[in-house]
Structure 1
């Protein structure tokens, strides 16, 4: 049995307003991911914790922007946000997950905010 070829990024483009990151892959997929979505779903331990019970609900990031994209080896990038968060390492597989599961992840985030009485603005 042959191992399935993993999608490889062909382009990572940040919009002029620094609010949308487009990641294109060699399998023809392209995902436009908002800076807010990337920030609240950061793979960092600061956000995700070390177990599901430690995961943080990030608020007030509606206007966040990406100020730098730093390569990490040949498998990921580190995104630097204007709120000074920069500890998440976004692998190519994680970008695909965020693209494929956007409706579920974003919907869950919005529901969590509502249940906790929190806001995207503060």
Structure 2
């Protein structure tokens, strides 16, 4: 279990950002695109090492819904139909702390594969 618990989850009016305030006062502001392309779902992460998928075309994705999953996570549904990722509190905290670096790596992967953040 995580030592960090959210005291507030808030989706922005335009549905493009999720803000998570943790019990220690740290606030993670997470873009919907980052959450979608780094979803912990098997669809994105694969079922084993080396199976991770680079998901293109999600620059304009929005959060459709956020639903609690037990007392340890939330399931985030996106407007592109993806809704199988269960985001634990510790994973949301990790994304808040390292999301910029992870997103830069994602952008490098897109470039290497000739893919784009924009829908084609």
Please state which band the TM-score falls in when normalised by the shorter chain: over 0.9
Structure 2 residues without counterparts, runs of 5 or longer: none
Corresponding position of 1:96: 93
Structure 1 residues without counterparts, runs of 5 or longer: none
Inter-partner Cα distance in structure 2 for 1:102 and 1:34: 9
- Give the paired residue count: 118
Higher-Rg member (1/2): 1
- Between the two structures, name the one with larger relative contact order (CA 8 Å, sep ≥ 6): 2
Q: Deviations over 1:20-62 (max 9, x none)?
A: 0000001110010000000000000000001231110001000
Q: TM-score, normalised by structure 2?
A: 0.95
Corresponding position of 1:20: 17
Corresponding position of 2:5: 8
Q: Bigger CA drift: 48-57 or 29-38?
A: 48-57
- State which of 30, 34, 37 in structure 1 corresponds to 2:34: 37
Corresponding position of 1:61: 58
Instruction: Tell me by how many angstroms 1:102 deviates.
Output: 1.3
Inter-partner Cα distance in structure 2 for 1:88 and 1:42: 5
User: Structure 1 residue 76 and structure 2 residue 104: aligned?
Assistant: no
Inter-partner Cα distance in structure 1 for 2:64 and 2:115: 25
Deviating above 3 A after TM superposition, structure 1's stretches of 4 or more consecutive aligned residues are none
Q: TM-score, normalised by structure 1?
A: 0.94
Pairwise CA RMSD: 1.0
